[in-house]
Each structure stands twice: as structure tokens, then as C-alpha cells.
Amino acid sequence: MCLAAITLPEFSTEPLCNLFNRDNLGRIENIRLNYLNIASQYNRGIDFIFNYNLDTDYGRFFANYNHTIQIEAAQQLLPTSPKDNRAGWLGCPRHVGNLNLGWTHNDLSVNWTTRYVGTSSLEDRYRALNNRSTITYWGEQVDIQLSTPSVFYHAVSGTYDFSKQGVTITAGVANLFDKEPPKLSNVPN
């Protein structure tokens, strides 16, 4: 017997409830199949890659950009489960990209990297499941934040190759502008 099936009618046919037993008080007594692979996973998208190199008397300059547009990122937990397309959901943005700019001259090289993470959201899904876009917090209805804006993270590094000594030194700074990740509400379900 699944406790969720007792308390919520929409979980009465939840297949994962068959993987454990509860006693009369609702406590778990036995769990079967500790590990469960998902039935299927589907990914479709478009990748763009742009490269440019320029050799000059002052060194070699290069730029490359990789961008992915995620069209579908779906999975089915069980063969009988619905196929959910999670592209655009939190943690699964539709657009991501990486820009790398660099310069090398003799034993010195400098790189600038910008990482782009597109928008993502669970607001529509939360609203559809809960018929609202708020949550009760200490007895008050408050709006929740379940979407992220697009964000850019920058990094810079430099490398010097002491080729005669067989030593290479690299120094750099990740998240150069100390960009905070987007903040989200922590809500059940």
C-alpha cells in the first residue's frame, strides 16, 4: 500500500508505489528493487559550432562558439509513464552556449571564456499541477519563483610554457565577475 495513494487520489495508480510495503501506520517496512533504470530517454537538438583563427605578427588569435538548442529532452520513468519533454524546465534550459576567445604568442597564451545558460522555468507545470502560482508560508499566500533568467558566466586564464624547463604554469579566475546563480523558491512537489 502506498501512502501517497491513500492521501492523494491521483497517486492511486502510481507504479512506484508497488516497490515498497508499508505497515498500518504508514511506515515503510520493505523496499524492493533499490535501483530502477528509466524506461526510455529521448534527446533532440541542434548544435552550432563556429571557429575562426587569425595568424598575425603579434600572435595567433582565435575564437570559437558552441551553441546547443535543445528541442526535446524527454524521458519515461516506466514504460507506462507519460513521456515528459523537460526541455526548458529548471536544470534543462533550451539554449546553452560557450564562447572562447584566445591569443597565443610564443610561450604565452591568454583565454577568455563566456558560458551562456538560457532561461528555464517550472512555473507553468507548477500552476497546472496546483491550480495556483503561490504557496502558503507562515499562514500567508506568497508568490513563488520557479524560473531563471538567462545568465552569462565569464572566466579568464593565462598560460606560460617554460619549454626549456619542461614546466607550464596556468593561472586564471573562474566566474570573473562573481555572478550569483539565479535564486529559486523551494517548494514541495
> For the chain, what's the residue count?
189
Cut 0.75: pTM above it: no
**Percentage with pLDDT > 90 across the chain:** 47
What CA–CA distances, in Å, run from 154 to 33, 69, 98? 44, 21, 10
Is there a contact between 47 and 59 (Cβ–Cβ < 8 Å)? no
Strand partners, 53: 62
Q: Give the residue from 89, 90, 189, 185 showing the smallest Cα distance to 142.
A: 185
pLDDT digits (tens, 9 = 90+) for 160-181: 999 888 899 999 999 999 998 8
**Distance in angstroms (rounded) separating the CA atoms of residues 88 and 40:** 19
pLDDT digits (tens, 9 = 90+) for 9-49: 555 556 667 677 778 887 888 777 656 677 788 899 999 99
Cell of 186: 523551494
What DSSP element (H or E) covers 124? helix 123-130
